[in-house]
Structure 1
């Protein structure tokens, strides 16, 4: 098995991570590599936003305000962005193009997020891609300072892998059921 196939095959989401997180400088080469994703027209219709420290609390407050929940439910919702010291917001940043459809731009942005999650995992970090119904609310858009052509695809929650971590188990597939011939 190649090193790449092995790395992809062992990737698992980590719903719980430690307070360790990669630095901005550690992220840069991973982002450069993730930028190699298939991208029709080389539009680079994506960007990434590091969410650290107090900004995570602001995101939690936006979740609560956008949802309208109160009490204990609001406290739980506000705490969601605090599950990791680093969140990386995955932003689709659509470009005007006669040749490249919107769905292709969304796919390129999602591809960057997925490749970045693989690279982080391969670098020893715990990662989980999270999203939900609040990702595209106006209050969450404002926290991220999005333009009219941008939307949040989700967040990579990134941190250290706990010593007692048991990442989620994904059932193996029969690839023949998913790869067919025309």
Structure 2
């Protein structure tokens, strides 16, 4: 499959099975995602692999950040358990007079998107999730973020349920967003 075909076929998978790539397979996909355009080669990003109890600790951090109690807190705490593998996407802002912070966050976002495309093409279901707790201090502490780091969200990764598989190409009117400047 070509990159164009993979991009046209890609879909976010909100529900995934418990299957997930192991660490070695994920590392191969990360190496491919590292080819994203990166002004000055700063590599202003890192990824954090969350499995098992790390996902439960993330749910606890969500609850701590929210102040919720009871059934609402339980529901919030369970959100990171929707996939057996979560990949936290972190922008690691480097000192640079040439590359502003926003551009460094864009590079980290590019890595996340390219990684999701590579995972999708390999047959894995992926959903990039964010939300109000993404920048919460409790969540940053749980991830061990440093002063110069910003969490951009998580890729929830798992198997694609059989009923969800599709090779349909998405129709999109590119002319609606593509203008020509003469």
CA contact (8 A) 2:9 2:170 kept: no
- Tell me how large the CA RMSD over aligned residues is: 1.5
Q: State how far apart, in whole Å, the 2-side matches of 1:120 and 1:166 are.
A: 14
CA contact (8 A) 2:9 2:169 kept: no
Q: 4+ runs of 1 displaced by more than 6 Å?
A: none
Which residue does 1:100 correspond to in 2? 99
Which residue does 1:148 correspond to in 2? 147
How many Å apart are 1:164 and its aligned residue? 1.8
Task: For residues 28-61 of structure 1, give each alpha carbon's deviation from its aligned partner in whole angstroms, at most 9, with x where no partner exists.
Answer: 1111110110110100000000000001000000
Cα pair distance change 1:25/1:76, threshold 3 Å: same
SS in 2 for 1:133: coil
Within a 5 Å distance, the mapping from 1:156-175 to structure 2 comes to: 156-165=155-164, 172-175=171-174
Which residue does 1:15 correspond to in 2? 14
Which residue does 1:34 correspond to in 2? 33
Q: State how far apart, in whole Å, the 2-side matches of 1:171 and 1:127 are.
A: 17
Name stretches of at least 5 consecutive residues in structure 1 with no aligned partner: none
Aligned length: 180
Q: State how far apart, in whole Å, the 2-side matches of 1:48 and 1:93 are.
A: 10
How many Å apart are 1:170 and its aligned residue? 9.8
Name stretches of at least 5 consecutive residues in structure 2 with no aligned partner: none
Which residue does 1:6 correspond to in 2? 5
TM-score, structure 2 length as denominator?
A: 0.95
How many Å apart are 1:172 and its aligned residue? 3.3
Which residue does 2:119 correspond to in 1? 120
Q: State how far apart, in whole Å, the 2-side matches of 1:29 and 1:17 are.
A: 21
How many Å apart are 1:166 and its aligned residue? 6.0
Within a 5 Å distance, the mapping from 1:30-109 to structure 2 comes to: 30-109=29-108
How many Å apart are 1:173 and its aligned residue? 2.8
